[in-house]
Structure formats: C-alpha cells, structure tokens
Structure 1
C-alpha cells in the first residue's frame, strides 16, 4: 500500500510539473499570435510551388532563415496546396519565438533513395521557443517498405519529423503519414508539449514507430491517435518526466519502454506516466523490454493507469530476455534494474490466454511492482492466465487473471 501511495504522489507531482509549463508556454504563444504580428514569411513568396512535384526545399529553407533571424516573433507559413520537400534541416537557435504553421501538405520525394543515408527527412535542430502547428506530412514510403520486405539492399530509412536538442516546443494538430521508419522523434529535448497529433501507417509497415523519445525531460503527449506498424510510443534511454494521456493506439505494437541494454553504459528511464488510453488490436499494451545483456540502465517510477485493452495480444508485459535470433546475448542476463512500476485500473480483452507476463532478470529481479484493479479476460471464453519470473511486489483489489507476483 505504501508503494502504491508513493506512486500516486509521484503522478500528482508529475502532473503539476509537466503540464503547467507547456500550457503556460501555449498561452504565451496564443497571446503573441493574437497581437496580429506582421512577421509572416510565406514559403510561396520565396519560390515554393504547391504542385507536389517542384522541389521546394530551397524556398522552405529561405523562409525559415528569414523568420529565424527576425528580431520579433515570426511565422513560417505553408499555405494550402502540396509541396515537395527533400531532406531539410531547420537550424536554431532563432532570435525570437517562432511558429511553423502548415495549412497544406508536405510530401517527400517519390524516390525513397533521394534521402541517401541521412537518417532525417525534416529536422529541427537546436530550436527553442517554437510551435509546429497543423498540416500533413506524407513521407510516401511504400517503395521503401517494399524494398525492406523484399530483403534488398535498402538505405537505412529516415525519420519524418525530428527535434534534436530543442527547448520549449509545442507540436499541435500535425498529421504524419507513411513514415519510412519513425513518424516523430525527440532527442535531447526539454519542456515539449505534443498534442492532438495523428501518426498513420499501415499495420504491416516495417519499423514505423509512431512517437520516439530519448534523452529528453519534461515532455507531455496528449490527445493523439497512432496507427502504425511498430511501437505507437517508444521510450528510449535518458527519458525523464514523460506524461502520456488520452492516446488511441492501434494497429501497432503498443507503448514500449525500451528496448534497453543495447549498451553497457546506458542512461535510465524514470518518472513515466501513461493514463486514460485505449489499445485496439495491438501486439502489446504496455511493455518494458530490455536486451539480455549487462547494463548500468534502470527503469523506475512508472505508472500505468486507467487503460482499456481491446483484443491485445500482450496487454501487460515485461520482457528482460529480449534477444532476437539469439544473436549476441543468448547466455547473458539483463542488468537493467526495474523498480516501482504500478499497473492500476487496466481492463479489457486479451487476444492470447496469457494476458499478463512479467519476465524479469535473474541477476536484477523486478521490485516494487504493484497490481491494482486489473480485469483482463481472454476473448476465447476461457479464463486468462498470468506468468511471472523474478517479479516481486504487491496486489490490491480485484486482480484478473490471478496475480503471480512474489511478495
């Protein structure tokens, strides 16, 4: 009970610290916009063509440079129409607050090989006090997926929208379609609010993560829909104070912390909360995953609350024996220390009989696991089951399937 109360206190503190700053930043942005600033830099003015064919990369970059150099708050405007843009980096820091407003559609080159080995399509690098608002970004990755599925010699693929080392950023109302690998990524960012985004790719598209975050602090991700071929949300090392709420996930692989322990010296993950979300037809619901390798990493103070599972293969899962194709780790044990993880008010149906699977490391057992008010049924009519290995914790309220935790 003490552990559960501590987890709830942690959530309350996180909610105050993580939501207040982004909302305050959003309010300031709204107030600034309402003053009717004339510093609007339309990409068409700089030569962009809304025909979906002409290369508008240079025009987009010129508009950005003009807005970024403005002494007063400025807006880069992408009007209605379809604009083709190749790999592009929008660099900062800028002189003043900046809004990137998209009314139309931005598409990638039809030939997926145009990106080479860059890893990025649209990159915002070291940009502070910025809002990315609206628009559709279509990476047109069908040819790239076909290359991957055929086992050909393909380029590594690019992330559609990436923020590196950004601070005080709002991403709102954006739609990303058909990413080559990841729709949207944050790396080394602080104080970011992501809200009402839609990330969409077919369920069989390979490695198309929805939202990926690592080495970032103070991020909120709310009111969004993700339908894709890999993790809806992938949480990597160095993630702290991350709040997800009102997520609709499916198809996809659910919300995953990890995979961790890729490297021996690895930063940990802490203070992560996922609440009020729905998983539909996903491979996993909530998952913590680490390679079976030595590691200095950790996962602690994680809270999964008020979740609905609809025909999910693995609604609740911890897997510390991740070792694809038994390459590089078949005789190892995960060194990732998992502690203080709470699962509360999780209900719905499992597509497999084993609805709850907590498989922890032999050398670093999971500790402080709390199960409270869990009701998961197997949709074939027979009772669901649970399986635990080296998982230590407590159970509160109704637990279905029966808890397998060690005390």
Structure 2
C-alpha cells in the first residue's frame, strides 16, 4: 500500500495548511497506488484533517482507511457564500474502478464534523453543505466496511454510476446533537418527537445502474437508503438496484426520489428493497414525486418485501409528493399538490409489519387525478398503533390482499395461507436484469 504520509500528509494538525496538504497527499497517493495496482493507505491510529479531495480519471482508484479522515471544521476556510454549493469532502469523478475500504478491526472513519454546518443551515446562513463521499460518472464501484460520522449533508452520494456494491457500511449521526440544535432553532416538533427540518444527512443515495447495497446500518434523520432518478434520454434510467439486509435507526425511509419531471425524462425502474428493519423511523416506505412543469418522469417496478418497523412517528408508508420545507424557503411544504407529469406504476409492498405506529394514520397513497398510480399491490401488510386505522388513499388502482387496515382506494382480496417465509438469499443486481449471487470484489 502507498502511505499518504509519503506524499506529505500530516496527522494531528488542524491548520488550514495541513488540511490542504493532506488533501493533496490523498490525491497523489491514490494516483500513485493505482499505477501499481495498490491502495492508498490512511495509516492506523492517526487522524488527518482534510479539505476537499478530488480524484479524476483514475483507473483502479483505491483508498483504504485504517485511520481517520476528518473534515476541516472551520467553515470559513472552505470559502464560498450563502448560496455556494460546496464541494464534497472526497470526490471521485470519471474513474473506472473505485474502491473505498476499511478493516472491521480498525476504528477508522470518515468524520464530517457536521455540527457547525447544521447550525449554519438552521440559521439560514448557508443554503448548502458538503457531502462526505461523492462519486460521479464512475464504473465498478466498491465501498466496503467504511464508517461515516456526522456528515454535513449526504454521507454517500453516488451519481450516474454503473456496477456498484456497498457493503458492511455504518452511517452514524449524532441525533442528540441534532435535536438540541433543531430545538434551539425552532425546528423540532416536541409533541411528535421528530424534526421539522431534518438537515439532509442522507445515508446512501444512488442514481445509477446495477446497484447492490447490503448489510448496512444507518442512523440519521433523513433518507437512509435512497434511489435517485437518472435522466433516461441522456444517461439512462436509474435501474436494477437491490437494497437488503439493512438496519435503520430513525431515518426517513428506504426511499425513491424525489422525482421531478424533466425534458430528458427522470426515471427509476426495477428496484428491490428487502429484509430491512426500522427502529422509530419518521417514514419507512417512502416514494416521492416533486414539483415541476416541464417534461415527464416515471417510477415503475419497485418492490418492498420483508419490511419490519417499530415506533414509526409519522406515516410508515408514503407514496406521493415530497414533503419538505427548507429554512431558506425552498421546497413545496408539507402537503403539496400531486404532479400529473410524474407516473407511478407497478409498486408492490409485500410481507410488511409496522408495530406501535404513533401517527394517527396508517399510510398515504396520494396520486394525481389525471395521471393515477396504477398496479399498486399490497400483500400481507399489518400496520398497528394507537389510532392508525385509516389511509389517505387517492387516485390509486390495484389490489390489497390481507392488509390491515384496508386502504379504501384499492380493491380488497383475501386468500388463505398468506404467511410467507422471507427470502434471505444475498443477491445482487446483475446486468441481465436477474438477481443472482455475486462474487465479492477485492478487499
């Protein structure tokens, strides 16, 4: 392995000069290691302060963590202004073969130091904050064993990627620290025990093709696992994803979207979420359109199966327009109109159990009158709570089999022997559209 210190990285120093030197050292070490078919090493037991790293056009880029990479904490040293879209802490762009690994025996992490960024956004001093790991226009991506902490924004944002595996990853957000800040800024609903502005600390967000995310644990207050749309006419549909064997604490769901219309057709297709357990989620199953009046979008062939949740504090199931309002005024609010330019087709939820739901409604299926949701199938679903007895159910067609409570806009059916045994086979999203076991990549 190629130690980043051999290119001038300085551990234990939080000065601007050290953060810049460390960023350059990571870039050079990744390039040098790739030329030899090796990994750039962040050495064990050390922490390196960091300003943004950019790795572009490298074949076989590999970053291995045994120590910490820590985002430089002083926001003013990042430059920019209120409307600046800050660069991510670590960016891989246009690379073939991107690998980010960490040893399970090592306490290594990518540390976001997000507190000051959260405060700046809550006070409307900044509209944006940096992601921790951003990968765009790359192929053959493996992220294995990595832990992230307190990201200013998204933890992992993978955009326009192909052949991706994310495994054994831990995303951790200091929810108590976020709660205190949210309360102080007036963005906390004490009665409902949830944030009214969740700080956009998404876990793993992906726009791409042939994606397998598995065996992950996520603690946050925004989308935990999220399929982002890709533009079908210019890059291709975001398609053939499997997300499985995940444990999510709090969070706003295993999500699709948000999906606005686009002249280039925003598209999500052939998505599977399975074997996912939620603890006290804000939402659990979440498919969301967004506003816009140009172009079209489609979300189709999405399946959720073997889903469990306890203590859902808001709608455990939500299909409809995104509910969001940013401190700077962006976002359509908490009950925006549906969008006729976004189509939802063939959405299946199977073997789903939500217990101790706090919100007084079981779920939302809220579609557009002129462009209804079609092929909505609910099977073997139980949603129980102190008053979760009804759905908001508008302009959706399909059927509900052995569902309690029954959504009134879907045709009820009943069949004997409906109890299913979960399929726990670890499977991948393969290029031929099937989901077959996939060999592990290098470590």
* TM surpasses 0.5: yes
Q: Which moved more, 1:196-205 or 1:297-306?
A: 196-205
Q: Which of these residues, 22, 25, 29, is aligned with residue 59 of structure 1?
A: 25
2:283 maps to: 284
Give the SS at the match of 2:41: strand
1:226 maps to: 218
Q: Distance in 1 between matches of 2:4 and 2:376?
A: 52
Q: Which of these residues, 35, 46, 52, is aligned with residue 7 of structure 2?
A: 46
Give the SS at the match of 1:284: coil
Cα displacement string for residues 266-297 of structure 1 (whole angstroms, at most 9, x for unaligned residues)? 32100110000011111111111112544410
Q: Which of these residues, 149, 155, 178, is aligned with residue 150 of structure 2?
A: 178
Counterparts in 2 of 1:383 and 1:254: CA distance versus 1, 3 Å: closer
Q: Which moved more, 1:350-359 or 1:382-391?
A: 382-391
- Aligned pairs for 1:179-218 (under 5 A) are 179-203=151-175, 204=178, 206-214=199-207, 216-218=208-210
Q: Distance in 1 between matches of 2:378 and 2:338?
A: 28
Q: Distance in 1 between matches of 2:68 and 2:322?
A: 42
Cα displacement string for residues 297-343 of structure 1 (whole angstroms, at most 9, x for unaligned residues)? 01100000000011112111111375857869967733111011100
Counterparts in 2 of 1:321 and 1:121: CA distance versus 1, 3 Å: closer
> Under a length normalisation based on structure 2, what TM-score does the superposition of the two structures give?
0.76
Q: Which of these residues, 141, 151, 156, is aligned with residue 124 of structure 2?
A: 151
Q: Does 1:133 align with 2:101?
A: yes
Q: Distance in 2 between matches of 1:376 and 1:331?
A: 26
- Aligned pairs for 1:220-369 (under 5 A) are 220-238=212-230, 239-261=238-260, 263=262, 265-294=264-293, 295-312=295-312, 313-320=314-321, 324=325, 333-349=339-355, 350-369=357-376
Give the SS at the match of 2:250: coil
| 1:255 Cα deviation after fit | 1.9
Q: Distance in 1 between matches of 2:324 and 2:201?
A: 20
| Matched positions, count | 359
Answer yes or no: is the 8 Å Cα contact 1:169–1:191 preserved in 2: yes
> Which structure 1 residue ranges, 5 or more long, are not aligned?
1-39
Cα displacement string for residues 157-187 of structure 1 (whole angstroms, at most 9, x for unaligned residues)? 1110011111111100111111111111101
| 1:364 Cα deviation after fit | 1.0
Q: Distance in 2 between matches of 1:273 and 1:191?
A: 16
Q: Distance in 1 between matches of 2:135 and 2:257?
A: 19
Q: Distance in 2 between matches of 1:377 and 1:316?
A: 12
Q: Which of these residues, 386, 395, 403, is aligned with residue 400 of structure 2?
A: 395
Q: Does 1:160 align with 2:121?
A: no
The structure that is helix-richer by fraction is 1
Give the root-mean-square deviation of aligned CA atoms.
2.2
Q: Distance in 2 between matches of 1:210 and 1:67?
A: 28
Q: Which of these residues, 76, 79, 88, is aligned with residue 40 of structure 2?
A: 76
Answer yes or no: is the 8 Å Cα contact 1:333–1:362 preserved in 2: no
Give the SS at the match of 2:265: coil
| 1:112 Cα deviation after fit | 2.2
| 1:93 Cα deviation after fit | 2.9
Give the SS at the match of 1:49: coil
Q: Distance in 1 between matches of 2:62 and 2:5?
A: 16
Counterparts in 2 of 1:191 and 1:90: CA distance versus 1, 3 Å: same
Cα displacement string for residues 41-95 of structure 1 (whole angstroms, at most 9, x for unaligned residues)? 1111222122142331222222122123x1x41111111110111111012232x
Q: Distance in 2 between matches of 1:263 and 1:113?
A: 35
Q: Distance in 2 between matches of 1:272 and 1:330?
A: 25
Q: Distance in 2 between matches of 1:85 and 1:75?
A: 19
Q: Distance in 2 between matches of 1:291 and 1:201?
A: 26
Counterparts in 2 of 1:187 and 1:275: CA distance versus 1, 3 Å: same
2:437 maps to: none
Give the SS at the match of 2:341: coil
| 1:383 Cα deviation after fit | 5.4
Q: Distance in 2 between matches of 1:145 and 1:332?
A: 30
Answer yes or no: is the 8 Å Cα contact 1:335–1:361 preserved in 2: no
Give the SS at the match of 2:346: strand
Q: Which of these residues, 71, 74, 80, is aligned with residue 108 of structure 1?
A: 71
Q: Which of these residues, 87, 90, 104, is aligned with residue 55 of structure 2?
A: 90
